[in-house]
Amino acid sequence: MRKAFVLTLVVAIAPHVASAHVVRHNSIPEAYRGTWAPGTGACSADDKATIVLSAKAYVGPAGNCSVDYVSETASRKGSTYSARLLCPGTGAQKRTVANLIFRAGVDGGISVGPTFASLKAHRRCSESDPAAKK
């Protein structure tokens, strides 16, 4: 009787256990490539918060960095990506490592930041905006 109860409990709980399946990519997914500006303001080439994502590079507040790899983790709101960036160091330090988390946001935008607590909404700059020509 006790074995049947334990087995029933395991079967009932098992589907609810979250499994963090991570897929590793060599580059930033195509849907996220382009120039992104924070908030709803105009895209400006002088805006220090504007970021540019390409297949193997990031240009933004963290510097001009190359993409080492990108991890994709499924979530209820869609995939969440974490890019490991290799950035030029200062002085004797050859390279620094930075992380960039990004995921789809509302109205075609994305949320971007180095940590989940610091994610900020960004919108895509059009090709005619000065910032998109970086």
Q: Assess if residue 27 is contained within a domain.
A: yes
The DSSP letter of residue 129 is: S
The predicted pLDDT at position 94 comes to 82
Task: Give the residue from 97, 80, 101 showing the smallest Cα distance to 88.
Answer: 97
Residue 131 Cα to chain centre, angstroms:
20
Cβ pair 45, 134 in contact under 8 A: yes
Residue 68 Cα to chain centre, angstroms:
13
The predicted pLDDT at position 43 comes to 81
Q: Assess if residue 90 is contained within a domain.
A: yes
How does pLDDT run across 75-133, given as a tens digit for each residue? 888 899 999 999 987 777 788 899 999 999 888 899 999 999 999 999 999 765 545 55
Q: Assess if residue 73 is contained within a domain.
A: yes
Q: Assess if residue 79 is contained within a domain.
A: yes
Q: Assess if residue 12 is contained within a domain.
A: no
Q: Which domain holds residue 89?
A: 20-133
The predicted pLDDT at position 9 comes to 47
Q: Assess if residue 46 is contained within a domain.
A: yes
Counted domains in the chain: 1
Q: Assess if residue 117 is contained within a domain.
A: yes
Q: Assess if residue 4 is contained within a domain.
A: no
The predicted pLDDT at position 49 comes to 84
Q: Give yes or no for residue 12 having a pLDDT over 80.
A: no
Q: 27, exposed or middle or buried, with CB in 10 Å at 0-12, 13-18, 19+?
A: middle
